[in-house]
Structure 1
Amino acid sequence: MIIDHDRFVELESLEERLDSEMNALRDVLSEVENRASDIAWELDDYLAEYHFSMVEESIDQLAELVGVKEIDDLKLLSALARIRNDTAQVIAPEGNEIPTLSKEQLPPRAPDDIGDGLWDERIESLKDRVHHCATHIHDLLGRFGVRWQEAVNSAYDGYGDHAQAELVTVQALVAEAQNAYKLWEVCLSELYGDSPGSLGDVGEMVEETEKWVAVQLAGQQTLDESS
């Protein structure tokens, strides 16, 4: 079939616009990986400092990175790629297994009735449980950026099904990170209960807050009794 010159120029212009739109979408979506890397970098410090509120905030920020807009943009990128390629590319989704962690999988905790001479061993066992959770959270955040970028690249290349599978993996990683945070918080509480000083500045801050609350409650009780 012979295409006249004007028609050829029009098609070429449409192709350029399509490529431009796809490249712009890919660049915007790739920013998610960059932001996820920043969050993961900050999170390592928060975990090391036992800064529980900042760890929770970091994981919440991670969850917000892939919202309705990002998902819609990913679908649009896949659709544009299908138009560009004039076909739907097919690739078998990889089985991305999500690592999980439960309380039963944590290192054993030394018994409560351990003798004074072995108290340090108990504290170390509690620290080990906290560290195990922290390592798991770190691993999940590292996987998040890799899998999201794989979703973006797959959408750009027209592999819509594979992009969707990677998106499901990303969402599962966020859910597991939220569960892991709750487990980390429990282990942190166990450690604080036996050794507040092991949590450094955060432990000292919580201890001072508890003392202040106790004083306020005692003062209120005295007022109630005298009235």
Structure 2
Amino acid sequence: MQRSCIAAKLRGMNLELLIQNTSFFKGLDDDHRRELARICSVAHVKKKEYLFHEGEQGNDMFLLIDGNIQLHKNTEDGREVVIRVIKPGEVFAEVVLFERDRYPVSARAVTHADVLVFPKAGVHRLLAEEGFRNDFIALLMAKQRYLAEHIQELTTTDVECRFFTFLRAQYGEKERIHTPLSKKDIAAAIGTTPESLSRLIQRLTEDEIIDWQGKEIRILSNPWDWLG
């Protein structure tokens, strides 16, 4: 794995502000966010480059600043199973802080991406402080609830609903969406096959609900109202 760490001052990034604006860290007080900003660094990951591989020693937790990162596992027969597509503002690989010494999935950049890197050793030093530890554990519990709801969504809703829910979560309720993700990536992210997604797109196109040309999706008939 190769990734280039770039000093924050060279990239003009306010690390504390980036952390503050991330929903995952909203529950931390100002002092704790400043402490996190002191221990992290910025990494730039090129398109198709791996941030880490499944089974690799888990030394860092990450916050995606820009771009998209795909998390996937490899099956015994060599297939890739996409777990999720990380969007800007999301924290990932926090599992190595407590549960595992090695990354349970691989992380590959779908586009050029910038991430904040939080070293495991540095976070563990902060967790030795009771106030920080209590705040941080509360954040992890909130994320676990979100993931449980996401799994339920994948198993109880139909493909069309999952498709539009994914678009809204990734890009907001827009009439024109520019996506760097391939149809294969989107199919994996919503828990379906590329063939099923292709059939869905064909039907939505024929019904004049969407128009998908290249990397641009035009929403022709508002689906957001019935998503709830």
TM tier, shorter chain? under 0.3
TM-score (norm 1): 0.24
TM-score (norm 2): 0.23
Task: With a CA cutoff of 8 Å and minimum separation of 6, indicate the structure with the bigger relative contact order.
Answer: 1
Larger Rg: 1
Greater per-residue strand proportion: 2
Greater per-residue helix proportion: 1
